[in-house]
A and B are shown apart, each in its own frame.
Chain A
Amino acid sequence: MSGSVIRTAGLTKRFGRVTAVDGVDLDVRDGDVYGFLGANGSGKTTTVRMLLGLVLATRGDAEVLGLSMPRHRHEVLPQVGALVEGPGAYDQLSGRANLRLFDAMGRAGAAGGRRTRERRVGEALERVGLAGIDRRPVRAYSLGMRQRLGLASALLRSPRLLVLDEPTNGLDPQGIHEIRELLLELNRTGVTVFLSSHLLAEIEQMCTRVGVLDRGRLVLQDELSTLHGPTGRTEVVTVDADRAATLLGDAVEHREGDRLLVRAGDPGRLNRHLVEAGCRVSLLAPERRSLEDVVLEASQGTGDRRDRQERAS
């Protein structure tokens, strides 16, 4: 099973007259940390729900772990841990009791049965930093604790694939850092992580591959390193900016005080050129595109903004 962990072809979902997801071709490979980016309302959650067999596709196919969904959900889902649109737990029960119940649901599968349940529950709680929780009901939990509990529930069966929708929602910076470390650690042990988020920074810090959804369409899907590719310009900061600008002439495409953006094939040669001309260079680096630029370029706008449509009459 090398290659694709999630693969969809022309995946489409219509709710009445609204097309929420439109012909999406996802390709998530084994070992990826895949960032699924999109504005609010762009169809991320609907796509995730289709992958998990919660929402039935109008058209198109979805394969998860090499088997088609939702037909093979009973073989696929035991190997998948998921957090969909916020955690869900039985409010009146404690976190531990919740995990015990969820662990008892469905077929026991490879993870084992009742005898090893306490150990699994304990390990999952330990992993997400909830080992010390008491008997308080989930009702009394903070949003961050609920989020951690949801994650623990996703980890119960040592999944091969984690599908996480906005997993850091409600966590403080420290918590976000912990969860990021946890996910990266899991990824190192071979777990593929599919991370859906509208937070560019989160995706940029963790992911190896990125897919961008815009109004239900997948407008971009590539390795993050490729997207981050050099723009062919070099950023130069020098106190002798005037002299450098005269020296380089037309190659300077943009100037902002001491900072120049120079079109140059080889930054090393540019540096020598500047230094030999007596310019004191304090910073010189090839310019890379930021993920934000890439995403804004590829997508047309935010999903929750509704501008007035002028009607021609």
Chain B
Amino acid sequence: MIRVELVKLLRSRRTWVTIALIDALPVLVAILLAVTGVGPRPGSGPAFLSAVLTDGTLYPLAALAMVVPLFLPVAVAVTAGEAVAGEGQAGTLRYVLIRPVGRTRLLVAKLVAVIVFALLAVVVVAVTAYVVGVTLLGQQDVTTGTATFSGTSLTTPELVARTLMSLGYAMLCMLGVAAIALFCSTLVDTPLAAALGAIAVLIASTLLLTLDAASALHPWLITRYWLAFTDLFRDPIFWRDILRGVGLQLLYVAVFLGAAWANFTTKDVTR
């Protein structure tokens, strides 16, 4: 079933249009930076962006920092929201289930497809950003190392390892979003409602994070540690928030996947 879902994902025009749209923003920013040469003041704007002007090879990180907090969650919520409700709306859900495909297997396959989608998006963004960064913003001699936030230098293998770790972390965050959207998708009849439900959770979480009165809730909000991946680029790595983030995302995944499973496996499929 996983294979079938992947085939559907890769053959869908929407997958590629979405990825292209996500990819457009970092490209636009790179062009603007290259043309104007004006970087954000240190400490403001998206992470890494001020460092990018001196070194284009860092641009993939800056691009991910732009895309991961907002675009990717929305795209993941839409894709995962489609999972059950979308099949229901297309009238295919009943035919999938009577092939028969087990309901649990279907959920797992859908989840895997969503994560592959997110990975694909991230890889496309990273590769384009690297190409665009190097060609438009120039390249420092890589062997001299790349600056961390802490002012020390990273060797290329270190940089690659930390970038991969941050990608893994971002994927785990997307898994949390996917779990919520998947649960919504088993709950409502239209994919749009499911996606909006998941996005509403993210917005509410972001909003509450800005509110001091909600500080008791902060450690439990899903977006609380999303940007902790930047801590991977400190020297030494600042693990505390990252580990908390991992734990929190796993908790969200467990709770919402469990709820999605419990709801879907006992649901009357009447569409």
Contact = CB atoms under 8 A, between A and B. Distances in A.
A151 to B, nearest CB: 12
Contact of B92 (A74, A78, A88, A106): A88
A84 interface: yes
Contacts of B4: 101, 104-105
A90 B90 contact: yes
Contacts of B91: 85-89
Interface in B1-58: 1, 3-4, 7-8, 11-13
Contact of B266 (A56, A78, A88): A56
A84 B94 contact: yes
A216 B215 CA distance: 55
Contacts of B95: 82, 84, 88, 102, 150, 153
A78 B94 contact: no
Contacts of A150: 95
Contact of A105 (B96, B266, B269): B96
Interface residues of B, number: 25
A77 interface: yes
A148 to B, nearest CB: 15
Nearest to B13: A92
Contacts of A106: 1, 99-101
B212 interface: no
Given A86-B91, A88-B90, A52 B98 contact: yes
Nearest to A87: B91
Interface of B: 1, 3-4, 7-8, 11-13, 90-102, 266, 268-270
Interface of A: 15, 46, 49, 52-56, 73-74, 77-78, 80, 82, 84-93, 97, 101-102, 104-106, 150, 153
13 contacts: A53-B98, A54-B98, A55-B268, A77-B98, A77-B99, A78-B99, A84-B98, A87-B91, A88-B90, A91-B90, A105-B96, A105-B99, A150-B95
8 closest A-B pairs by beta carbon, nearest first, are A88-B91, A106-B99, A77-B100, A105-B99, A54-B269, A88-B92, A55-B268, A106-B101
